[in-house]
Amino acid sequence: MKENKIILSHGSGGKLMHSLIEEIFLKSFKNDILNKLYDSAVIDFGEFEICFTTDSYTVNPIFFPGGDIGKLSICGTINDLSVCGALPLYISASFIIEEGFDVITLEKIVKSMREIAIKSKVKIVTGDTKVVEKGKADGIFINTTGIGIKDKKINLGFEYIKEGDKIIINGDIGEHGLAVLLSRNEFNIKTSIKSDCAPLHTLIGAILKEFKGIKFMRDPTRGGIASSLNEIVKNRNYGILIYEREIPIKKNVLSMCEILGFDPLNIANEGKVIIICDKIESKKLIEKIRKNKYGKKAKIIGEIIKEPKGKVLMETITGSVRIIDMPIGEQFPRIC
């Protein structure tokens, strides 16, 4: 890690964040569970496995079209467990609150967390609260930790991926990041773009019950699908080819990206899952996903290729091929 000071990009989901993880945290904490760098730790408990995850939320603003920091914290934790094949069961919630924070606003956030937890059939069972002096935090920070149960018959991992496997996403990309950014009113632009923030455990649970050819899943949050796809191929003996014409993206999101100069592949999502599955099952899997309200626009966007190893390529609309690299930082800060 070349930098001597932590900068915002170290938390963006891009190259700098991965450098921080590998050269600082993994160097000190490495073990057989952590080293896999899945969205949740998968821990063997004999007849079953426990999935265990934690995340911190610092979104600015705390309320945005389609969600808020409370909904985001519960959905994010549910999804991190779900993409590892677990049934989410229990969540902890810890709050760091700045002195002077409005109590009515706090109640709205907590109500939002409660509603999505009840709807998702998970229980918030423990937590912690700290209050810091005014100016020592940006309103409110939330940390959530989740625990879920995984059937040992569900085998997901990088090692199961092979050439010819198809890459699926359950819907339009780029909505969350733009919804948060534009709600800051820094650009004085009015738009109908809303965050895709949603719990995906029912969608994921349904396809895991029916399809044995699912190899791996990841939710493309910070750094967007570009980061997630690069994480999948990093140091592997395969690569990825995606097709620009197949990537689902709303016209208003694409137009806004063109206006602001953003690459939609790098923008955070909070209700999307990337699924890698066997080619034979891919079409039926798409049909199944589209029956869920969070998967109606699901598409096959690419496939696993033999060469070049460790690289993500995209066939553009014009027919050319370009490398999709992991972003160095994030195009804008504090999205999730």
Q: Which domains does the chain have, with CATH numbers?
A: 31-150 (3.30.1330.10), 158-323 (3.90.650.10)
Is 259:205 a contact under the CB 8 Å cutoff?
Answer: no
What would the pLDDT profile of 34-90 be if each residue is shown by its tens digit? Answer: 999 999 999 999 899 999 999 999 999 999 999 999 999 999 999 999 999 999 999
Q: Are 189 and 256 in contact (CB under 8 A)?
A: yes
Residue pLDDT, tens place only, 82-135 = 999 999 999 999 999 999 999 999 999 999 999 999 999 999 999 999 999 999
Prediction pTM value: 0.95
Query: In angstroms, rounded to a whole number, what is the distance separating the alpha carbons of residues 194 and 111?
Result: 20
pLDDT band at 331 (very low <50, low <70, confident <90, very high): low
In the chain, what percentage of residues exceed pLDDT 70? Answer: 97
- For residue 180, give the nearest of 72, 87, 102 by alpha carbon: 72
Single out the residue of 298, 275, 274 nearest to residue 288, CA to CA.
298
**96 neighbors 52 (Cβ within 8 angstroms):** no
Residue 145, classified by CB atoms within 10 Å of its CB into exposed (0-12), middle (13-18) or buried (19+), is middle
